[in-house]
Chains A and B, each alone.
Chain A
């Protein structure tokens, strides 16, 4: 699959720039969902010269499948090194699929405080939504079958790869 991730990021940052109102600008923070979302958030954050550090969410404690598969082995804890209250939050994920990750991420964000708004940004929207959650800004839309799997590799030289899902 040939998708130029850098080109997508350029387009997304232009769109995001338009999306953020002038008055909201100094109150906007970026939050990425581990791990691919953090990479994308970092790139957009740099392109938009945002003054705050990028927040990182690890939603392992908020997943809705704990009672089926147990704790996910991940290393990094969540880090939101700013006050979430009254901020315009740009929530970034790499692949938007069922919407369950975003739901978990939003639940976690509200345990830190009450943001003024959340804008959802995804590099890829792949189809297969199970919850009423849609991204505001999307890099590219792919129509994938359930057996297909798209994955972002990085953090250097971000690239998307398509493969058959493991069964």
Chain B
């Protein structure tokens, strides 16, 4: 599924893979322009007035759904939240029929979260040509807006990407966030990308994406400018891939002690929700180097940017 139009503008936002540095930078710059809107008395702009956005969530999510909702509202769009797991599909309606129904309601954009990899691209292929699709996380494949808000957060603090060492710590295999981030970091030209975790949670051939593998957190985060901690999913804690949550914290949890090994100005990030005492110590999560709450705030501006870029490309394309 091609997410770009003939003029190389984003008409969908499905994956970081294949996007140019110029395009990623355009998303970040546009988000930078939206950022001050959130600090005004009236926090919305009339850009998407009259447009209808549907949050199509096949998998539960609070943070991502809420920030997409807020982003749409700040752009003056109308937004509907559809929790599909608890809705039409349980009544036996097929996905295609659900999409046709929503199209008939004159929707302009679907924000899709799904447990299957490739679901957003599949939906983008199925929908009417005037509809934009944004991937809000599909299976183990991609979570492109999360990656972009992380890039935004990194750029805000570090100004540029060139000399940075970035360590991503945790369950890399099952993480769509990690995959999107590695691609974004490599396209934006960071000096070094490291993935850190137990052998059982690091996929084969990850080096091909440009990442170095470390199985030991101490060496993995040594000298790093950015440390991104990943959430250890509940279902992984009781799986044979890991001994136990406690032991995981012993080996891979980010503590104040360990953070001292990173660069003294290092920032700590986490896509949330946090498992305190499992992948990260509370003292670090709430500490001075943590930018976890900034990530949430930046998520709104970045999602506003992506939404207006894809709808804008559609608008321009119809002329």
Give residues in A with beta carbon < 8 Å to B. Answer: 58, 60-62, 66-71, 73-79, 107-108, 110-113
Contacts and interface: CB of A to CB of B under 8 A. Distances in A.
Contact of B45 (A62, A69, A73, A75): A62
A62 B76 CA distance: 11
B315 A67 contact: yes
Nearest to A77: B33
Nearest to A74: B33
A68 B46 contact: no
Interface string B288-316: 00000000000000000000110111111
B123 to A, nearest CB: 23
Contacts, number: 59
Contact of B46 (A58, A62, A74, A79): A62
Given A75-B29, A107-B46, A69 B41 contact: no
A112 B312 contact: no
A71 B319 contact: no
A79 B316 contact: no
Nearest to B47: A61
B308 A79 contact: no
Interface residues of B, number: 27
Contacts of A79: 36
Return the 4 tightest CB-CB contacts between A and B, nearest first: A70-B312, A70-B316, A111-B42, A61-B45
B59 interface: no
Contact of B41 (A61, A75, A112): A112
B205 interface: no
B313 A70 contact: yes
B45 A111 contact: yes
B33 A58 contact: yes
A45 B4 CA distance: 45
A56 to B, nearest CB: 11
Contact of A111 (B40, B309, B311, B319): B40
Given A66-B315, A71-B308, A78 B46 contact: no
A75 B25 CA distance: 12
A135 to B, nearest CB: 24
